[in-house]
Structure 1
């Protein structure tokens, strides 16, 4: 027995721990501590330096007795004896791996524990002696082989350094291989020295097949623009190149990458290779382009809205003046000219509405109409405006079915297609418009995904111009895409054509080839035979009975033409130049004024604010609010609250007189 041996007890059950402590003291051992967790056991072994540790396997805390024993043996070389009530195979296997000196199963006899402790102390002492002998022998061997060690020292260091370098290289290669960016190393001749997995995926290269091959064999690359410069020349000159490259792998689609080239030099400072990091930004560029197109469309919408407002202010006096001239029985030769002005003004106003329809993406009014009548009008305009070297032809089936749609929009489709054909005929040529009845059967619908079986009108616009390549043809319906020089095209014409055709539940097709001209085929659903084209009966404009009306508009020509129309139909008129003038005039003459015609967009005090102020003075006064914007863009909630009559520019005399009459009648009947 070794009475002076220091014993450290690790047991989480206090009664068992106290019993062990009592037994150890009874046997003459020095108990240097009793602890309940593995963490305490490891820490206190280092602090108290026991000769033997009695370790319970199942301990509370983050580490159990087996792990605590492993650390104690490894850190402090103190023998450990396991005490446990568990004897399962897994625990035994774990315990064996810790090189413990004994494993006692509870309950055990005091003599068994004493023998285990003594054997652990003896074995530990033998191990120490053996280690000292081994160290002494090793020391003698080292002394006797000192010359050999010194001779081999340089070689050993070189091998160790090489292994460390290889390990570091493998580690770096593993990190590079996990990178999401495509990473390549190329020598100065373009041969690939290294290619990570991301690069293999990006360029569709089989794993391990890139090294040693020329980059040009695997993909073609070139800067996105000339301003980017040549990456090889720039990197050789400046040591680095940053820019965007377009890559095209054999049989693959075009890829755009953000690329960084760094020149690598050897110990002598000579350039040896390029370290290249490529980030795929193909989808990012598509998203940027889409965002840019959206912003441009929003800008076009805002611009179109402003232009439409101004044009509507121009068309309104034109339309009303032309109506007055055309209706004047003493006009003589002026009447036909007035009718031309009136028809052209109506067409211009309809085109403004069409632009706003395109910007908003909404459909206009749909009514039955005959396409051949519209086409005749288009051909007449084209023959008058196109160069003499361009011949325009029209042919159509008789009888030709009618279609239901917006005639102004279809007119715009024909004009846009014919203008495109004109631009494709710089040296002159032929443009033909062909209208034909067409029946889509199931086989035709099967080969044309957008077609549904039924009766259609096929509109073909063909030219003998330059034609288009397949690459251009694939993009012609994209908004803002144009092949025309700057200032000659917006890129919206064919996008508008496609949208109009789709809104009419139709479809379109294009036949073209370089040097072979272009043929656009538009298919529009035809009217059924029982869908007659309604005739619009002429309406007699309502007249006034001497009522005094206040007309407020900052546009002099519009104000005067409204005054003239109202006075010609039985009303008296007081005019105001703007909102403040209208309010002060109404305040003075409120007892005489029967109604107000007020423009929405006036300076100082706009029409809505002016209407509110007038209603504060006379809550039941009828007000017609005139706007250059579409009525769908007006402040609906405010109009409903004020119960105003709304009139959108451009309007006709009849529109004006009906709105005024309706407003006055509503006030008289008490509905306002």
Structure 2
């Protein structure tokens, strides 16, 4: 500023005072001033329209206006130009009022000299620039999407930008001067700990759980900075907050999906071993009932109990695997209306009469492709959960409608996708789900029911089936008000249904079957069943032994029953090697792991059939009979 000319507008009607002030400015060093003097306020306003001035010197007593009104009229027209009021001793009170209304400074005419005069003008210009800069910074703060606020050391709010208004809902006029307790539903240990660290370290950052004007809880990523005065003493706290509520929800969905995927991977691995254990028990219990017809009723009932419990164990494994591996079995095009109406009938006939059912299905509901039996299971699991959540009665609502999900809506849910979906809602008016447990409800074996009243597999099965159908789920629940499960199933192009022909159980014709499995119980039980149905059986405990036996008996072996998961040379490698020896060999691949079956199916299209463990004696004989008796050209 010292290197340029300062243009001054003097509004003064006393010629003597005007001459004195001009002389004082001429004496001021080293700054140069250019003075334009007028004797009326109206002339001053005209000059402001025609020229730019750095500062205005204003006498409050003019021919066309008097007192504080003089400043108010000028200030309204020249808000961006600093004004220094010049007055006599008798008007000092009025001059002070002008400063309170926006004047940068005031000077008494009989006390001013050149240095004081020049310094006051320079101060007025620097102060006006500082105010302008603050206004510009405040405007930038209002543009910011983050919530920015300043509070003093007693928690009173001093500054509140537009971002804070958008996040919390309160206007600046409402909160200024109030404490920030309104951001917390109750005493906040988080906030107290943050303030302690702030005074120790000068800054703090972390997540805070706060509330908005309408009582909604939000998660805010907050950064606190301790502001200090010129003596380095704390004077205020600057707080910048970012609303991360939606991001935290998506993260929770992502971590829940990862956790479920990990459990699914573990379940798939365990299933193979468990199925190897269950299959011999199941097959043997069924075979003994056939082989020992003279058993007394008590022993026969024991065998039936063994068979039933083994099947129940196998069903539990299948439920665990459903959420891990998704859809399996036959897929057909079907509509949900008949299935929902069937569910309604079951509910109304079997649920307590204190539970009423309300079904709403939109007209022309889209069709879908999938496994109708599994979708039926989804409805039943959700309806049973709803029943259990309403021990004193309530309303069970099932609705279905067509929805289109766009990019914006898809981003709100971790699993959501863009496209055409059938939205199905199963809602109850029951006890609701506590917030601390809602993130765990889809975990296998997690249950809030009393011991012995729930396996914890219902909802894990639901999520597995829906994900297997390329769908997704969201849950809304409030304690004491009920729960709403919304699941979305893609409306897909129809596929041709797979035709399955029922085969009667046929007795073998002395065909030779090579059974390969590293589990002795599996080999023995399979051998006993097949021999009981007039098949000859060779057994091998690993891939190397299987190759040796096949090379030795290749002209007689009609079929190879091959376990896919074996140590050393696994089933897939063994199958490929045998097929190089005889490309027309008939093979049934067996595994307790869906992943192994799918991998083998993709890698080798020449495998005739796949038999998942655990299987019954009937299933084993049926599939062996089918492959042995059907011409190979029809199967590959």
Question: What range is the shorter-chain TM-score in?
Answer: 0.5 to 0.7
Verify: 1:570 aligned to 2:534, yes or no.
yes
* Of 314, 320, 344, the match for 2:283: 320
Alignment RMSD (CA, Å):
5.3
* Of 344, 360, 381, the match for 2:309: 344
User: SS at the partner of 1:636?
Assistant: helix
Residue 230 (structure 1) shift: 1.7
Structure 1 segment 290-301 matched on structure 2, within 5 A: 290-301=253-264
Residues in 2 aligned to 1:461 and 1:159: alpha-carbon distance in whole angstroms: 70
CA, structure 1 residues 394+624, in 2 after alignment: closer, same or farther (shift >3 Å)? farther
Residue 195 (structure 1) shift: 1.1
Residues in 1 aligned to 2:317 and 2:203: alpha-carbon distance in whole angstroms: 54
CA, structure 1 residues 308+286, in 2 after alignment: closer, same or farther (shift >3 Å)? same
Residues in 1 aligned to 2:221 and 2:375: alpha-carbon distance in whole angstroms: 50
User: SS at the partner of 2:169?
Assistant: coil
Give the equivalent residue in structure 2 for 1:362.
327
User: SS at the partner of 1:290?
Assistant: helix
Give the equivalent residue in structure 2 for 1:304.
267
Residue 252 (structure 1) shift: 4.1
Verify: 1:274 aligned to 2:237, yes or no.
yes
Residue 321 (structure 1) shift: 0.7
* Alignment check: 8 A CA contact 1:621 1:667 kept: no
Residues in 1 aligned to 2:634 and 2:433: alpha-carbon distance in whole angstroms: 66
CA, structure 1 residues 502+240, in 2 after alignment: closer, same or farther (shift >3 Å)? closer
Verify: 1:557 aligned to 2:521, yes or no.
yes
Residue 154 (structure 1) shift: 3.1
CA, structure 1 residues 540+169, in 2 after alignment: closer, same or farther (shift >3 Å)? closer
Give the equivalent residue in structure 1 for 2:203.
240
Give the equivalent residue in structure 2 for 1:287.
250
Give the equivalent residue in structure 2 for 1:171.
136
* Alignment check: 8 A CA contact 2:584 2:632 kept: no
User: SS at the partner of 1:575?
Assistant: strand
* Alignment check: 8 A CA contact 1:625 1:645 kept: yes
Greater Rg by CA = 1
* Alignment check: 8 A CA contact 2:588 2:607 kept: no
Give the equivalent residue in structure 1 for 2:24.
none
CA, structure 1 residues 578+205, in 2 after alignment: closer, same or farther (shift >3 Å)? same
- Residues 250-269 of structure 1: per-residue CA shift (max 9 Å, x gap): 31421111111111122223
Residues in 2 aligned to 1:648 and 1:218: alpha-carbon distance in whole angstroms: 58
* Of 442, 453, 461, the match for 1:479: 442
* Alignment check: 8 A CA contact 2:561 2:587 kept: yes
Structure 1 segment 39-118 matched on structure 2, within 5 A: none
* Alignment check: 8 A CA contact 1:186 1:193 kept: yes
- Residues 581-613 of structure 1: per-residue CA shift (max 9 Å, x gap): 211221233233332111111122222221121
* Alignment check: 8 A CA contact 2:279 2:613 kept: yes
Residues in 1 aligned to 2:192 and 2:463: alpha-carbon distance in whole angstroms: 40
* Of 570, 591, 595, the match for 1:606: 570
Gaps of 5+ in 2: 1-50, 52-109, 333-337, 356-371, 403-425, 470-474, 486-501
Q: Flag the structure with more relative contact order, 1 or 2, with Cα contacts below 8 A and sequence separation at least 6.
A: 2
Residue 175 (structure 1) shift: 2.4
Alignment length (residue pairs): 457
Residues in 2 aligned to 1:227 and 1:219: alpha-carbon distance in whole angstroms: 10
Residue 304 (structure 1) shift: 2.8
Give the equivalent residue in structure 2 for 1:456.
none
Gaps of 5+ in 1: 1-96, 98-144, 380-391, 397-403, 425-430, 435-443, 453-458, 522-537
* Of 528, 543, 548, the match for 2:507: 543
User: SS at the partner of 2:263?
Assistant: helix
Give the equivalent residue in structure 1 for 2:293.
329
Residue 451 (structure 1) shift: 10
Residues in 2 aligned to 1:497 and 1:555: alpha-carbon distance in whole angstroms: 32
Verify: 1:619 aligned to 2:588, yes or no.
no
Alignment TM-score, normalising by the size of structure 1: 0.56
Give the equivalent residue in structure 2 for 1:206.
171
* Alignment check: 8 A CA contact 1:219 1:247 kept: yes
Residue 498 (structure 1) shift: 8.8
Residues in 2 aligned to 1:570 and 1:503: alpha-carbon distance in whole angstroms: 40
Structure 1 segment 137-286 matched on structure 2, within 5 A: 148-217=113-182, 220=185, 230-286=193-249
* Of 602, 623, 630, the match for 1:659: 623
* Alignment check: 8 A CA contact 2:279 2:615 kept: yes
* Alignment check: 8 A CA contact 1:417 1:461 kept: no
Residue 199 (structure 1) shift: 1.1
Residue 419 (structure 1) shift: 12
